[in-house]
């Protein structure tokens, strides 16, 4: 089933080949003749369980990131995962880092920048954060609380955050992590923005660590120039104190970033849940996301496939039913069923490829397409059960 997507020229050229699962699969499809592909069988008992129960059972987890392409159901998955974690953890927090927040819409209640208790729970909270606004507020607070000597420090920090590409967002990310770390929660679920923004977010600890490392090197090479520059930018009269203050603040930030980086790369503390739908672009984006996470050293061994039509049935079974009943259906019903069957065949194709790519190493969970929107606490509770007790594909 996976041969078609792997032989597509644009797919082979666009995807890097260092990812172990993809490379091994590609070699397998090249070395096994087409006639013998059906003879390769994998014992289902050896495959990872197709659910997120492994996350619920891993009590050491502190950070769970949920990400993927836009429009694949990341917010719904984040909320459902938070609901399930709340059953076994003392205090759970869901944080939206997407500028276009949807947590309020999902839970049907107002959620702000502070942890907001979710109705119907006594141990689940949610908050929506805009990192750029937090950065502006941090700079305003520095200016309002500063003394004459601190004016130069604030000016120097402002210059620093505007002179290094990407460091402004990275600094705001560090402020976000400081805020989240200061809260008393057992586990934090991050509802992230679409893939590109999320990869940038996860690269911030590395960006900041390198940038602040360079600043510390400059301190030794140029002595008091930093302090003098700070004094020139402000009205302070003591360059030595100004230099110590700015370097101390940078060192504090660097310590937080190092701690966050270590936590991100520890699979006992952090994991990433990839969310997709059974379509080519989404599967392709998931493969890119998995490879980038591997580069950052971030654990990822769960994939959620949303919007699956009748996951307990395959297209062949439905086709048999349709062939038997087609003649008795009115033309409008035939057209509707025909379109549904075409969509089901397409989904089965990409679901098969998803299992071929990841089934041996990842927990691949299929979430059904429902007749209604999953909004509100009650519907989220019901839908979340599919994450830990998925549809039986053998029925």
Q: Cβ neighbours of residue 279 under 8 Å, at least 6 residues apart?
A: 346, 347, 350
Q: Is residue 347 packed enough to be buried (19+ CB in 10 Å), middle (13-18) or exposed (0-12)?
A: buried
3-state secondary structure the chain: CCHHHHHCHHHHHHCCCCCHHHHHHHHHHHHCCHHHHHHCCCCHHHCCCCCCHHHHHCCCCCEEEEEECCCCCHHHHHHHHHHHHCCCCCCEEEEECCCCCCHHHHHCCCCCCCCEECCCCCCEEEEECCHHHHHHHHHHHHHHHCCHHHHHHHHHHHHHHHHCCCHHHHHHHHHHHHHHHHCCCCEEEEECCCHHHHHHHHHHHHHHHHHHHHHHHHHHHHCCHHHHHHHHHCCCCCHHHHHHHHHHHHHHHHHHHHHHHHHHCCCCCEEEEEEECCCHHHHHHHHHHHHHHHHHCCCCCEEEEEEECCCCCCHHHHHHHHHHHHHHCCHHHHHHHHHHHHHHHHHHHHHHHHHHHHCCCCEEEEEECCCCCCCCHHHHHHHHHHHHCCCCCCC
CA angle 169, 174, 180 (to 5 degrees): 125
Question: Has 98 been annotated as catalytic?
Answer: yes
Catalytic residue among 39, 46, 57, 98: 98
84 closest CA partner among 129, 128, 54, 116: 54
- 115 neighbors 93 (Cβ within 8 angstroms): yes
Kindly list the catalytic residues. Answer: 98
């Amino acid at each position: 089933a996976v041969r078609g997507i792997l032989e597509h020229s644009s797919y082979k050229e666009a995807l890097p080949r260092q990812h172990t699962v993809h490379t091994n699969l590609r070699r397998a499809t090249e070395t096994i003749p087409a006639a013998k592909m059906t003879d390769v069988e994998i014992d289902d008992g050896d495959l990872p369980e197709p659910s997120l129960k492994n996350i619920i059972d891993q009590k050491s987890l502190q950070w769970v990131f949920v990400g993927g392409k836009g429009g694949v159901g990341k917010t719904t998955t984040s909320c459902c995962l938070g609901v399930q974690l709340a059953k076994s953890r003392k205090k759970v927090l869901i944080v939206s880092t997407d500028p276009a927040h949807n947590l309020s819409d999902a839970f049907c209640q107002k959620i702000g920048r502070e942890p907001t208790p979710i109705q119907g729970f006594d141990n689940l909270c949610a908050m929506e954060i805009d990192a750029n606004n937090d950065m502006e507020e941090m700079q305003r607070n520095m200016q309002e609380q500063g003394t004459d000597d601190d004016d130069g420090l604030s000016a120097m920090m402002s210059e620093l955050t505007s002179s290094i590409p990407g460091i402004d967002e990275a600094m705001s990310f560090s402020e976000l992590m400081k805020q989240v770390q200061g809260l008393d929660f057992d586990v934090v679920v991050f509802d992230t923005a679409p893939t590109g923004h999320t990869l940038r977010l996860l690269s911030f600890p590395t960006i900041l660590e390198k940038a602040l490392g360079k600043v510390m090197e400059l301190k030794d090479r140029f002595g008091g120039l930093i302090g003098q520059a700070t004094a020139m930018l402000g009205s302070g009269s003591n360059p030595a104190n100004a230099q110590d203050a700015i370097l101390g603040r940078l060192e504090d930030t660097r310590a937080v970033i190092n701690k966050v980086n270590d936590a991100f790369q520890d699979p006992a503390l952090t994991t990433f849940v990839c969310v997709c739908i059974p379509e080519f672009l989404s599967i392709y984006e998931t493969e890119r996301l998995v490879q980038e996470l591997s580069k950052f050293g971030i654990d990822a061994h769960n994939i959620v496939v949303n919007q699956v039509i009748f996951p307990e049935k395959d297209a062949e079974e439905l086709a048999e039913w349709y062939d038997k009943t087609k003649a008795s259906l009115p033309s409008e019903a035939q057209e509707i069923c025909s379109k549904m069957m075409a969509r089901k065949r397409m989904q089965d194709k990409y679901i098969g490829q998803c299992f071929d790519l990841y089934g041996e190493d990842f927990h691949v969970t299929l979430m059904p397409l429902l007749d209604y929107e999953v909004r509100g606490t009650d519907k989220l509770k019901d839908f979340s059960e599919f994450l830990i007790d998925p549809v039986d594909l053998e029925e």
